[in-house]
Structure 1
Amino acid sequence: LGIRFNPMHCIPLKSANGKTDWMLGIARDVPFCFGKVTTILQVHIVNSPAYDVLLGSPFEVLTQAWSQSFLSSNQHITITGPNT
C-alpha cells in the first residue's frame, strides 16, 4: 500500500486464534473510506497476519457502528462518520 509507518512503536498483538505476533510499527492518520464515510485511523502494521484488515472496538466506537445478523448468515453493518 505504500503507507509509511513508525517502527519505533512495536507491541505484541494476540490474535483470536491465540497466535502472538509483534507489530512492525504504527501508521498514523491513515484515511479509510467505507462507502460515503471517510475516517482517519491509527493502523498497526503486522507481518503476514491471517487477515487483511482487522477493525476492533476503537473503530466501532469512533464510527458508532452497529450490526444486524440474519438467519441467512448475512450481516449488515451501519457506521456513522465521526465528523457528522
Structure 2
Amino acid sequence: MHTEENLLVVEMKRSGVKRGLEDDNLKLTLMTRQVSTNPDYHYGYAVGVHLILNIPESKVTGSDVYINGEVDKARTEALRQQLPG
C-alpha cells in the first residue's frame, strides 16, 4: 500500500557484497522523494538510511542518509559519527 505517512526506510548490506548496491541507492532515492517520478516507488519516506555492515567485527563500514531523494551530507556525517566503525 502506498502512503504518504512513512517515516524511515533502511537498506542494509554486508561489507564486501557489491551486488545490489546500485539498486539499493536507486530504491532509496525513489522511496524518499516527496514527489514521485516512478509510481512503483512512491512511498514518500521522510528519511532513508543505507548501511554497510562488517558483521564479524561489529562495525559499520558505510552509511548514507537520504532526504527527498538525495544523500544529505550533513545528516550522513552526523550518523557516521554515532556509529561504531
Q: Same fold (TM over 0.5)?
A: no
TM-score where L is the length of structure 1: 0.29
More helix by share: 2
Higher relative contact order (CA 8 A, sep 6+): 2
TM-score where L is the length of structure 2: 0.28
